Amino acid sequence: ASTVKIFGVRFDNVTLEEANKKFIGFMGNERLRTIYTPNPEIVMMAQEDDEFKVVLNEGDLVIPDGIGIVLASKVHHLGLNDRVPGIELMDLMLEYCNRAGKSIFLFGGKPGVAEMAAENIKLAHPNLNIVGTRDGYFETGKELKILDEINEKKPDILFVALGASKQEKWIHRYKKTINASVAMGVGGALDVWAG
Ligand code: UDP
């Protein structure tokens, strides 16, 4: 599929269904694949943060989360067709995991949020395996301990909710260390699932 650059951020020109297909293609791979879902606010954030822009542009699947991105594309005739909300892609990913009996790890949010989200995800997707949860507030220096915790559980998917740009930078920094097929930055999605 083609890609489109909006204010220097490269997006995959995909529909929700195509994004889901790409995700399914990532599953079972040895090398970690990364999924980011920038909205207009995040694209603006990247204008003032070159490191963040590089991280986003090295994502394996980058979807336009927000009509503002699609509108910017239309104004500049860049050909990006569809808005692909990250939360909707996450839903399809959870459905896939439920069908295929895959495992996930939820990392991020205030203490208790990931656990509560896990309970609600489990109710909606009983066949999916939630192998671990961890809140997103930790002292610097604890990163390797957290990675050990995650890798011990060998999740198929790691969902990271540390807010933008922290979550994308974290995934990028530990890309070679994370023992999973897919890592995705999900912002406030765990709060949504926690209810
Ligand atoms: N968060 C976290 N650790 C941090 C900062 C934020 O776990 O150091 C969590 C926060 O609790 C929330 C999520 O990241 O669940 C998204 O945060 P925010 O709404 O600030 O980010 P955005 O929606 O802009 O991505």
Question: The CATH number of the domain where 105 resides is what?
Answer: 3.40.50
Phi, psi values for residue 186, rounded to 5°:
-120, 10
With cut-offs at 50, 70 and 90, classify the pLDDT of residue 1: low
Q: 104-132: per-residue pLDDT in tens?
A: 999 999 999 999 999 999 999 999 999 99
Distance CA 47, CA 101 (A): 40
Domain that holds residue 107: 3-194
Q: 48-83: per-residue pLDDT in tens?
A: 999 999 999 999 999 999 889 999 898 888 889 889
How many structural domains is the chain composed of?
1
Q: List all residues 6 or more positions away from 157 whose beta carbon is below 8 Å from its beta carbon.
A: 93, 97, 102, 103, 104, 105, 180, 181, 182, 183, 184
Residue 42 Cα: closest atom of ligand 1: 24
Per-residue H/E/C for 28-39: CCCCCEEEECCC
Nearest to 160 by CA among 120, 106, 118, 114: 106
- Distance in Å, CA 176 to ligand 1 centroid: 23
The per-residue pLDDT for 129 is: 98
Look up the pTM and report it: 0.97
The per-residue pLDDT for 82 is: 86
- Mean per-residue pLDDT for 10-20? 96
Question: Is the CB of 45 within 6 Å of ligand 1?
Answer: no
The per-residue pLDDT for 17 is: 97
Tokens of 4: 């489109």
Pocket test for ligand 1, best of 162, 166, 191 (most atoms within 8 A of CB): 162
CB 104, CB 158: distance < 8 Å: yes
